[in-house]
Amino acid sequence: MRSPRRCSRNGCPRQAVATLTYVYNESTAVVGPLAAFAEPHTYDLCEPHARSLTAPRGWEVVRHEGEFEPPPPTTDDLVALAEAVREAARPAPRPPQDDQKSNAQASTPPGSSTSRRGHLRVIPPSH
């Protein structure tokens, strides 16, 4: 699953809710709702940075006056989540029986048994 877009300001961990675009030929900075896709030459901003943005002297700031809201989850997010759940539930391929028996016998003392799941090994308590 892809993670939500983050604020472009250095060190800011908040989720982006607005997009900043510069219109250079009009000396204007436009702060509007979050664009559907991250585009080159635009900057994603969190709400505090979107509301407090200032422009250089001689430039105008055009700011969205409504509420900035995080984007709703898309179907892509839901599909990615479903695929991640399916992948996690899929059983790991088992090694051939001959290799598994020889590896288990070489690493366990006689009279004890272990079971292996992924990279973890369960060793029963000794009596």
**Distance, CA of 22 to CA of 40 (rounded, Å):** 11
Residue 46 predicted with pLDDT over 80: yes
**DSSP designation for 63:** E
Structure tokens belonging to residue 65: 């006056």
Quote the pLDDT of residue 10: 93
Structure token digits, residue 36:
């559907």
Q: How far apart (Å, rounded) are the C-alpha atoms in residues 14 and 99?
A: 50
Q: What is the pTM of this model?
A: 0.53
Report pLDDT for 13. 93
Structure tokens at 111: 């009279």
What is the percentage of the chain residues whose pLDDT exceeds 90?
36
pLDDT in tens, 67-108: 777 666 656 666 666 677 677 766 767 766 655 555 545 555
Q: Is the pLDDT of residue 51 over 70?
A: yes
Question: What pLDDT does 68 receive?
Answer: 76
Cα 50 to Cα 74, 93, 99, 122: the distances in Å are: 23, 49, 60, 52
